[in-house]
Structure 1
Amino acid sequence: MAPVLLSLLLLLGAAVPEETQAGPYSLSFLYTGLSRPSKGFPSFQATAYLNDQPFFHYDSEGRKAEPLGPWSQVEGMEDWEKESELQKAREDIFMVTLKDIMDHYKDAEGSHTFQGMFGCELRRNKSSGAFWRYAYDGQDFIEFNKEIPAWVALDPAALNTKQKWEAEEVYVQQAKAYLEEECPGMLQRYLEYSRTHLDRQVSPSVSVTSHVAPGKTRTLKCLAYDFYPRGIRLHWTQPGNVQETESGGDVLPNGNGSYQSWVVVGVPAQDRAPHSCHVEHSSLAQPLTIPWDARQEARAEGNVGAQAQ
């Protein structure tokens, strides 16, 4: 996935827990086209997201839009045959654009990737944001500015694409109307079936562990897992002092609709001072503080050594 579009998707997910159950909510589509697909990777695929949750997928092999996760059990949310036809039409346009870019750069050799992401957001039941942008081989290519309105070329080859997409004024107005009217309307309709799932709050499970490599410092790790929504804050503390973490802080999907995150800090191997992991999440009435007990761990290590003898 191109970094520029992956970053946007993660930002959309991170925004979810910042408000109450009035939102924000987002609907976004991520498209990926490959000039030389390999086994197991279709030449074109599209995934739609409600907030940070994938809710349907389409690709050039199956050529069917199919609901994912809990949405596969929902009746009447979408006409999936009609959605499949729409995605087929978008696939054709998308792959023609990829070929046009490759022709411009004479990039027939090698493997190339074209990606697009577009969508909208509702905050307190009002449209508050929309975006539509593309990337070629991981670099910004073209984006739609609905205020002008116009396509803005971010790459030399995108000037050709801009000219093609603006050949008729109606195409520009249709893009603007999609972002400002059609997309928010779809999102409102989807929320009738999805609000309970998107608004759920699942508290994190937290574990604190340590490891000492020979001749090195002690590594303390705090792992939070199985939580939803995505936003979480973790840090290590000593009394009255927030410790500088060495790694971690990323939030990753578990594969079951929940998330995990961790932070790691290094301390001297002989350090017996109190250290605690501080956890903040929207599902918690108050932050969690999970202590690392050096003395208890030392006793456990001693018991293991005695048993080994």
Structure 2
Amino acid sequence: MKVFILLIMGIGLLHSVSAATHSLHYVYTATSGIPDFPEFVTVGLVNREPISYYDSIIRTETPRQDWMANNEGSDYWESQTQISNGTEQTFKANIDILKQRFNQTGGVHVVQNMYGCEWDDETGVTDGFEQYGYDGEDFIVFDLKTLTWIAPTPQAFITKNKWDNDRGWIEQTKNYLTQTCIEWLKKYVDYGKSSLMRTVPPSVFLLQRTPSSPVTCHATGFYPSRVMVTWMKDGQEQYEDVEVGETLQNDDGTFQKSVHLTVKPEEWKKNKYQCVVQVSGIKEDFIKDLTEDQIQTNTGFVPANTSDDGSNSSNNTAPKA
């Protein structure tokens, strides 16, 4: 969903701003028309790490971190299960309502709700949000400043008018986002501080399929997930011919990210190109100079006379992507 895209602070601000920010997010997803897939799923996340899970098949709220299971007893999980049971029915009904609004019958349809809060443990600044999407598009968003709902599509006007006029619902939403959510976030961060507040530096590699392919700066094995990977040319940040990939989670709980630079060999050989990696909470910048001896392929380092298919005889192989 477009509104769900997380923006990361610009280079130079990541260490000083993002390191102290913690978040509690919940994502609800209801679907119809997808065989062998749960019709309703909820995921709770602290600092983008999953802490709880529920779906319409298992119908039980379950912990996703040991520190959640060890600190919250059976009463907590039973109450969360009851809440999710009720929410499941509401979201199934919402899909039917929205299909009518959009004059739809069959097909695959998805309703999503994302809400939560953020807290900066250095400044004390907090924020909250709640938003809904339908079939991959924004549907309705809560404006915490004006305490009103924003409807980016005509089909959402009915919902906006109904919710704007329900002052009890407005006040309840405000109190949750500004108070209750923050209190739970602080509690969860304390539960998992040994894990959530750790830092792990990245390994950085420059990868290329052939001498004419884009050069990829691949950072992996870092924690937390908040990262900035930037290509620089002669000390200036490059925006053109740069493709930024998503931050993905590794099997061990660390993260990886790739940023691709399209540049001709004669261009990077006569200028100073660098990949700069910044990880939230780590003061050090991790820098790789774009030089021939730093570029790797799936079969090893790229020598000057490498054929266009990227083959060579080196045994010094790059890590699996």
TM superposition score normalised by structure 2: 0.78
Q: Give 1:183's aligned amino acid.
A: C
Q: 1:146 to 1:73 in 2, by over 3 A?
A: closer
What is the match of residue 243 of structure 2? 247
What is the match of residue 65 of structure 1? 61
- Residue from 66, 83, 97 that aligns with 2:80: 83
What is the match of residue 25 of structure 2? 28
- Residue from 174, 185, 191 that aligns with 2:172: 174
TM alignment of 1:281-300, pairs within 5 A? 281-282=279-280, 284-294=282-292, 297-298=302-303
How far apart, CA to CA, are the structure 1 residues paired with 2:281 and 2:305? 33
CA offsets, 1:82-121, max 9 Å, x none? Answer: 1111111222222222222222333222222111111111
**Correspondence 1:232 to 2:237:** no
Deviates more, 1:263-272 or 1:89-98: 263-272
TM alignment of 1:117-266, pairs within 5 A? 117-124=114-121, 126=124, 128-165=126-163, 168-212=166-210, 217=212, 219-237=214-232, 245-265=241-261, 266=263
Secondary structure at the aligned position of 2:78 is classed as: helix
CA offsets, 1:51-94, max 9 Å, x none? Answer: 21111111111111111144465332781111111111222222
Deviates more, 1:87-96 or 1:67-76: 67-76
How far apart, CA to CA, are the structure 2 residues paired with 1:248 and 1:151? 32
Q: Give 1:19's aligned amino acid.
A: V
Contact 1:141/1:153 (<8 A) preserved:
yes
How far apart, CA to CA, are the structure 1 residues paired with 2:9 and 2:92? 28
Contact 1:16/1:25 (<8 A) preserved:
no
TM superposition score normalised by structure 1: 0.80
What is the match of residue 54 of structure 1? 50
Contact 2:68/2:191 (<8 A) preserved:
no
Q: Which structure 1 residue ranges, 5 or more long, are not aligned?
A: none
Secondary structure at the aligned position of 2:215 is classed as: strand
How far apart, CA to CA, are the structure 2 residues paired with 1:142 and 1:270? 47
Q: 1:195 to 1:13 in 2, by over 3 A?
A: farther
TM alignment of 1:94-133, pairs within 5 A? 94-124=91-121, 126=124, 128-133=126-131
How far apart, CA to CA, are the structure 1 residues paired with 2:157 and 2:99? 14
Q: 1:253 to 1:3 in 2, by over 3 A?
A: farther
Q: 1:207 to 1:177 in 2, by over 3 A?
A: same
How far apart, CA to CA, are the structure 2 residues paired with 1:283 and 1:24? 10
How far apart, CA to CA, are the structure 2 residues paired with 1:275 and 1:94? 50
Q: Could you say what the CA RMSD is over the residues aligned between the two structures, in angstroms?
A: 3.4
- Residue from 34, 47, 55 that aligns with 1:37: 34
Percent identity of equivalent pairs: 27
Secondary structure at the aligned position of 2:35 is classed as: coil
Q: Give 1:146's aligned amino acid.
A: L
Residue 168 of structure 1 and its aligned partner are, at CA, apart by: 4.6
**Correspondence 1:3 to 2:2:** yes
CA offsets, 1:230-256, max 9 Å, x none? Answer: 233334456556665543354222243
How far apart, CA to CA, are the structure 2 residues paired with 1:222 and 1:191? 32
How far apart, CA to CA, are the structure 2 residues paired with 1:240 and 1:188? 39
Contact 2:205/2:218 (<8 A) preserved:
yes
Contact 1:119/1:132 (<8 A) preserved:
yes
Q: 1:48 to 1:225 in 2, by over 3 A?
A: same
